[in-house]
Structure 1
Amino acid sequence: MARKPRTPKDGNTVSEHVTTVPLDETTRQRYLNYALSVITSRALPDVRDGLKPVQRRILFSMFHNHRLVPERPPIKSAKVVGSVIGEWHPHGDSAVYDAMARMAQWWSLRAPLVDGHGNFGSLDGDPPAAYRYTEAKLTPIAIELLSELNKDTVNFQANYDGKDEEPLVLPSRFPNLLVNGSTGIAVGMATNIPPHNLSEVIEGAIALIDDRNLSVSDLMKSIKGPDFPTGGEILNNRTELREIYETGQGSIRLRGEYTVQEKANGQAEILLTSIPFAVDKSTILERIGELIVTRKVPQLVDVRDESTTDVRIVLEVQKGADPQLAMAYLFKNTPLQNNFSVNLTCLIPTTGTTTTRPQCLNLKDFLEQFIDFRFETVKRRFSYDLRILEQRIHILAGFKTIFDALDQVLKIIRQSEGKADSAEKLKRRFNLDDIQTNAILETPIYKLSRTEIKKMLNELADKKKQAKDLQTLLASKTKLWNEVKKELEEVSSTYGDKRRSKIGRRQTEELEFDPEAYIVKEDAVITISTDGWIRRVGMVKDLSKARLREGDALLAALIGSTVDTIVCFSNFGSAYTLRIGDIPPARSGYGDPAQKLFKFKDGERIIAALSLDPRFYIIPQELKKKKAPVLPLFDGAATGPDEPVSLGQVIGVSSTGMGVRFDLAPFKEPSTRLGRKFMKVREREEVVHVEAISLTSKTPILSVVSQKGRVLLCKAEEVGVLSGPGRGVTVMKLDSSDRLLASRLLYEKDDQLIALKQEGAKLPISIRKYQPVGRGGKGHALFKRGSLKGVQTLPVELPVLDSENGKNGK
């Protein structure tokens, strides 16, 4: 569609054309172009030199622009970054400097390629100093990637502005991608290649050169597994590692190493000597410190960092505690053990072109790609050397031609009209070409002495011999492969070192992780307020001194061991069980809000709580002596005179007059933050009361009272037991305008539920005053006019543990 020509202010007509294209096709094509650019030019490394474009350009700039070889002094990192972004990599300076700093970190690369001077970060996760402060040059092993660039070993391409050329790939003399690994996220794919030991990788490459039919399993005789720069212990067995190397994907389980040593006072301490790869040491120290402070690992009392260039983290062990037990917890709950997800995706060359494509390789593919590339690189290097030799031989052959006729040469030059005339006459007289003639004319006169002539003739003979050797070498694949092997062996002998990461579990027996072993077993008091503040403190004697917010009141006070649980019941019919040891100890303040521990809905609140410490559910000694029968409500709960009964049962009623009775046992184990349902309530309905039924008392009477002053008493056993959450049965029928206000279990004739009228009058409800009837009725009327505003709450008392039998003395 053509737009009408517009006329600018100067009066000239400008013709504009707008082409209409489908949005979906254009978007798809442009996104594919972007994705391809990210994959091939940014995020993924090349299998041949193991570098991403930014890394390659940094090393090339340091070598080509600044000649920062190991023998020369370093220069400011800012100067390197400037030349990289100015000539080779048109991106941000921070991206270039970050990549450069990473290549200088010994804990990031197995064989660092940049020799950094100054602060280039630390194992604690500290960032490097600004590039105006640091200096850098190339490491010796980095020269093995770059030294053959000037021998036409690799192809070059124009840089981004077309004013210079940069290499497509560096002529690496060792498998850098496997040695140093790589990490990157592209579009729709990613790579995560672990580092390996240089000597092992080269040994595997040489073995593959000798026998191209080797399998991945055969190569693993040389390459045992990843070798991380920070050491650590690899927990995968050989079968698991083989599967990772065969598929190119998998997960490596890595943990730090430690030793246990005895101090002079007999107390043990744990010495951490390595940490997992890509984990900040400060993160591990911070996490261990938190666990010690919150007493999640009672076996440890302190942690300190004594690291210098090596990792040395000291953990002080509680006297008499088991260090292996502490380490089992740390491996489970800290970054001291983690997983490294392997993804062997990289760029491989496309046959017959200079382009690359991404592919996930196995271990054998990796080494094949490298040794094939190395073979071509060595071949091109020798071909270049041969061309240089042949050029020199050609010039020396011209000199040899004139050596026996030097007088004629000098005569021709003296009689010529200049350099061009001399050249033409020499070419005709001695049958020389332009190159030979120009070399002769440019030679100083002293070079034609007898001694110099002899040197040139000897050089000619030597060069011919070298050229013949190179021709023989280039004509034989076997000799070329032997040369490749020889150079790989030289790199291995020069830069190889011992493995840092150990493979396989330590021989000493280790304890399995058991969560119960890490809880400090001690009694604690848990107070819960009506506003839902939960507080865990040590044993207290006076609840009146409990710290509460203004306007708040104490709802419950529980005692239990930190290894046991409490269950909190909400007005929405949910029960939330948590271990007492998981409640943060409160040294000051009001404790923690229930919403922090549980996932409450809007308007949900705690209405009751029980301790599930087993000591509260053992038949008291005096009842054993009297052989008192167990309450019929719990028939079968006790199997013998010395057997503990079940946790008992709980009864709950809702605001619509419905009641449920259920066993407490299913609620003993900790729940999720969402809790477990014990009663189903409808919209605008809520649970108003939850109470545990005493195990060893008389059959309790359930008393309920409504807002309009209706009261009903019935036997608690008439409320049927539910095996799962439900609405229950009708305890008292209510008018549509009425709602159940409160409930309580009455055991003795003097037990009372005291209702409070709006005017303040107290109306006691007891078995002595009201005869129990069957459930489901409308009950008795307390008065003819008015309504109730509530019931009198019972004072919260602290349970007492009987030291003789461990039972609640009350």
Structure 2
Amino acid sequence: MGKSLIPPEPAEIHEVTLRDALEERYLAYALSTIMHRALPDARDGLKPVHRRILYGMRLLRLDPGTAFKKSAKIVGDVMGSFHPHGDQAIYDAMVRLAQDFSSRYPLVDGQGNFGNIDGDNAAAYRYTEARMTDVARLLLEGIDEDGVEFRPNYDGQSKEPVVLPGGFPNLLANGAQGIAVGMATSIPPHNAAELCDAALHLIEKPDAKSRALLRWVKGPDFPTGGTVIDSKEQIIEAYTTGRGSFRVRAKWKQEEGNRGTWIVVITEIPYLVQKSRLVEKIAELLNEKKLPLVGDVRDESAEDVRLVIEPKSKNVDPALMMESLFRLTDLESKIPLNLNVLIKGKIPKVVGLAEALREWLDHLRDVLLRRSNYRKKQIENRLEILGGYLIAYLNIDEVIRIIRTEDEPKPVLMKTFKLTEVQAEAILNMRLRSLRKLEEMEIRTEDKNLRGELKGINALLGSEELQWAKVGEQVKTVRDLFGPKTPLGKRRTNFADAPEHDLAAIEEAFIEREPVTVVVSDKGWVRTLKGHVADLSNLQFKTDDQLGQSFFAENTSKVLLFASNGKFYSLDVGKLPGGRGHGEPIRMFIDLDQDASIVSMFVTKGERKFLVAASDGQGFVVKEEDCVSNTRKGKQVLNVTAPAEARAITTVQGDQVAVIGTNHKMVVFGLDQVPEMARGRGVRLQKYTSAQLSDVTTFEQKQGLAWKDSAGRDQGLSWKELADYRGNRADAGRVAQGLPKSNKFNRPIE
């Protein structure tokens, strides 16, 4: 028959609001990420991918000391049976478990190229081989004895462990990093022996707080070593709350050379820092002249880290040189602590040190109880079988006769000797060769031993005190395996206080100071010239442009720019263009309005006061610190409304103010009449009908008013000669005699 041409009935369509659909799906995604990807379980310290890798290796019988197997085989088995995700993601996770610079206690023993501290990747999984380490064996110990719960794998074909038995304090010993949805985790590695000592104290005193446990757990213990320079109070705070961070510095030593020369050798770098990137960064800073105390850097590392830093000269203070490197490079790194873990594998929670160890210990006790119950069932089953064997041995001829003559020997055996079905089945399954071995003494000895073991197990299951004693023994065994005298257990990271240095000396150490001349054209093009150049007559400008102003500075100076829109802008001289060209427009560095122009530019000093004035005669006194801006947008100080604009600025030096207008009229009055403000329109300084303010200046009454004429010569009027111009703020003033025709005092900002 042909196929029906009638279209199928459409499935029932449910209308759902977009908001509800998104909320439901996003929540499902968030939960999946938190539970099955990003956060470690507090009990075994593993995320699902790591747990699956270790269980997959267990199934492949890759115990310590056995032959290595190809990583491709491990990754393939894990992906096919337990972890249906990308093969590269699984391999990357496995590689990290094998790297002794990433994992404090590696769980995978790798053979081949598994990457290095320079950041080079591992070889492809077809080239590398792996097996488990003793730490991984401890984590899995008891998994075949019903130590933990199992669940169906993703396709229901087999089972995987929900959590590993975790006989090693893996959560804190190896740490974890992860970013979920709305939460993250960051746990640095710790010393396993110290964690075991703290756990033993916690068994003795279950109510002990995190603060008390810090007697044993001093702080993180990174695989790459380094020095933690945080105060004890900060460390206590971090472990009590489960949130904080650790400042880790590289370890260095000074090596003496010939004729008083020396070098600094860095032997340990902070955790998770790639050495090659670190060297590149130092070289980059050297080229940018931001490390004036450093002469050269080179990497002499082989198996161990050896970074050599050469000073600029032998007179440099090595500690100060290192301080400049710590401040600018990853030789000092901040490692966050965010003890966000899954409690009982279900609830994400930020815990303190005590609670993290308590979760591990409670889990060890649960595993002990599960294993004990499993062993109890095994013994009871074996005792039942041994009882059947004993009956069979004592009545062997009758047993053989029944088996030979009866069509269904099992029920006959059960009825004749009052056997259970298990016993009868065991007798029927016996091999003939076992008959001669079935000696009564052997059976009775095994029975006696098993009954003794069962008595011990029952006592253990009935006494919490015995259970904790057993857990304590287990923890002590781990502590001895990874004690401070073992190569793997020896503490690598030490603690120290950050050295105190004079801040001014550190600032000096950062950037090499060089004198420069800042040149600004009329049209707002800016550039710097090397050195302090007084004669600028040969300087070239663009067509229709000319010199606006110039001033001396250093490449470390900061510059303030006062614009006609009443805003102040801050610029770094070091970022201004140098070289032989015409420079670049000032608008490349600040967000200056198109219709705004530069009123004045000068080097920041920090403790001065300025008198600022607008073209409509308004003005006030402002502190220099109130003018400094931290953004490209600048800081509005003098409020102006078009068509008025900011017109003049002068340093406050003296007790008198002189204001001159475009009408050539000048008024002189006391500075005390002008208010000091951080921002605003100010007060009227001079009154105009059709003119505008041209310039302002301040001076000492005793010394009189001074200015420069067009030829640059010093001119002035004494206090007596200024009698006709003296008045009050907001006066119109009088036409000035002898003042420059430009109506400008030409006084630079000092």
TM exceeding 0.5:
yes
Q: Contact 1:560 / 1:612 at 8 angstroms: preserved in 2?
A: no
Which residue of the partner structure matches residue 325 of structure 2?
330
Match of 1:10 among 5, 10, 18: 5
Letter matched to residue 378 of structure 2: I
CA distance in 1, matches of 2:482, 2:192: 8
Q: Does 1:517 align with 2:508?
A: yes
Cross-structure match for 1:400: 390
Stretch of structure 1 that moved more, 542-551 or 212-221: 542-551
Q: 1:532 to 1:364 in 2, by over 3 A?
A: same
Shift of 1:98: 3.2
Matched ranges for 1:354-433 at <5 A: 356-417=346-407, 421-433=408-420
Q: Secondary structure at the match of 1:103?
A: helix
Q: Is the 8 A contact 1:273 1:312 kept in 2?
A: yes
Counterpart of 2:263 (choices 258, 266, 269) is 269
Of residues 38, 41, 54, the one that matches 1:43 is 38
Equivalent residue for 2:739?
A: none
Contact 2:666 2:734 (8 Å CA) reproduced: no
Contact 2:460 2:467 (C-alpha < 8 Å) held by counterparts: yes
The aligned counterpart of 1:786 is none
2:242 counterpart of 1:252: no
Query: What SS does the corresponding residue of 2:260 show, helix, strand or coil?
Result: coil
| TM-score normalised per structure 1 | 0.76
Determine the C-alpha separation between the residues in 1 that align with 2:441 and 2:360: 45
Residue from 670, 673, 676 that aligns with 1:723: 676
Quote the residue 1:447 is aligned against: 434
Does the 8 A contact of 1:110 with 1:195 survive in 2? Answer: yes
**Structure 1, unpaired ranges of 5+:** 1-7, 350-354, 615-645, 705-710, 754-766, 781-790, 800-806
Taking a change above 3 Å as real, the CA distance of residues 587 and 484 of structure 1, as seen in their structure-2 partners, is farther
Tell me which residue corresponds to 1:488: 475
Does the 8 Å contact 2:51/2:163 carry over to 1? yes
Q: Which residue of 2 aligns with 1:567?
A: 560
Bigger drift between 125-134 and 95-104 goes to 125-134
TM-score, structure 2 normalization: 0.81
From 656, 663, 683, the counterpart of 2:642:
683
- How far did 1:377 drift? 0.7
Task: Tell me the equivalent position of 1:101.
Answer: 95
1:501 is aligned to: 493
1:537 aligns with 2:537: no
SS in 2 for 1:586: coil
Aligned partner of 1:230: which letter?
T
Contact 2:104-2:189 at 8 Å conserved across structures: yes
**How far apart in 1 are the matches of 2:581 and 2:441?**
100
Q: In the alignment, residue 324 of structure 2 is paired with which amino acid?
A: Y
Aligned partners of 1:701 and 1:747 also within 8 Å: no
Q: How does 1:93-132 map to 2 (within 5 A)?
A: 93-132=87-126
Q: Which runs of 5+ in 2 are unaligned?
A: 484-488, 698-704, 718-723, 737-741
Query: What is the Cα deviation at residue 374 of structure 1?
Result: 0.4
Q: Any conservation in 1 of the 2:526–2:576 contact (CA below 8 Å)? A: no
Distance 1:423 1:596 in 2: 98
Deviates more, 1:193-202 or 1:52-61: 52-61
**TM-fit CA distance, 1:154:** 0.6
2:526 touches 2:583 (CA, 8 Å); kept in 1?
Answer: yes
The equivalent position to 1:556 in structure 2, one of 539, 549, 557, is 549
8 A contact 1:567–1:667 mirrored in 2: no
- Report the counterpart of residue 63 of structure 2 in structure 1: 69
Report if the CA contact (8 A) 1:660-1:727 is conserved.
yes
* Aligned-partner Cα distance in 1 for 2:612–2:172: 66
Q: Which residue of 2 aligns with 1:55?
A: 50
1:185 equivalent in structure 2: 179
Partner Cα distance (1:550, 1:76) in 2: 73
CA shift for structure 1 position 555:
2.8
Which of 394-403 and 671-680 deviates more?
Answer: 671-680
SS in 2 for 1:543: coil
Looking at structure 2, the residues matched to 238 and 590 of structure 1 have their Cα atoms a distance apart, in angstroms, of: 56
Per-residue CA deviations over 1:698-743 (Å, capped at 9, x if unaligned) read 9989574xxxxxx5353677998563453664768576xx999x87
Q: CA deviation at 1:181?
A: 1.6
The question of whether the paired residues in 1 share the 8 Å contact of 2:525 and 2:583 is answered with: no
Report if aligned partners of 2:266, 2:305 keep a CA contact under 8 Å in 1.
yes
Task: Give the AA of the match of 1:289.
Answer: A
CA deviation after TM superposition for structure 1 residue 384, in Å: 1.9
Contact preservation (8 Å) 2:97, 2:103:
yes
In the alignment, the residues of structure 2 paired with residue 112 and residue 422 of structure 1 have an alpha-carbon distance, to the nearest angstrom, of 57
1: distance between equivalents of 2:30 and 2:609?
64
Query: Cα–Cα, structure 1 residues 373 and 716, in superposed 2: closer, same or farther, change >3 Å?
Result: same
Q: Distance in 1 between matches of 2:52 and 2:560?
A: 63
SS at match of 1:217: helix
In structure 1, distance between residues paired with 2:24 and 2:451: 56
Alignment root-mean-square deviation, CA = 4.4
Identity, % of aligned positions: 34
More divergent stretch after superposition (226-235 vs 602-611): 602-611
Corresponding residue pairs, total:
712
Question: Is the contact made by 2:610 and 2:649 (CA closer than 8 Å) also made in structure 1?
Answer: no
Q: Deviations over 1:301-338 (max 9, x none)?
A: 22223334443332222321222223333333433334
2:38 and 2:180 in contact (8 A); partners too: yes
1:477 aligned to which of 450, 453, 464? 464
Task: Give me the whole-angstrom Cα distance separating, in 1, the residues matched to 2:37 and 2:21.
Answer: 23
* SS of equivalent residue, structure 2 residue 202: helix
In 2, are the aligned partners of 1:232 and 1:256 still within 8 Å (CA)?
A: yes
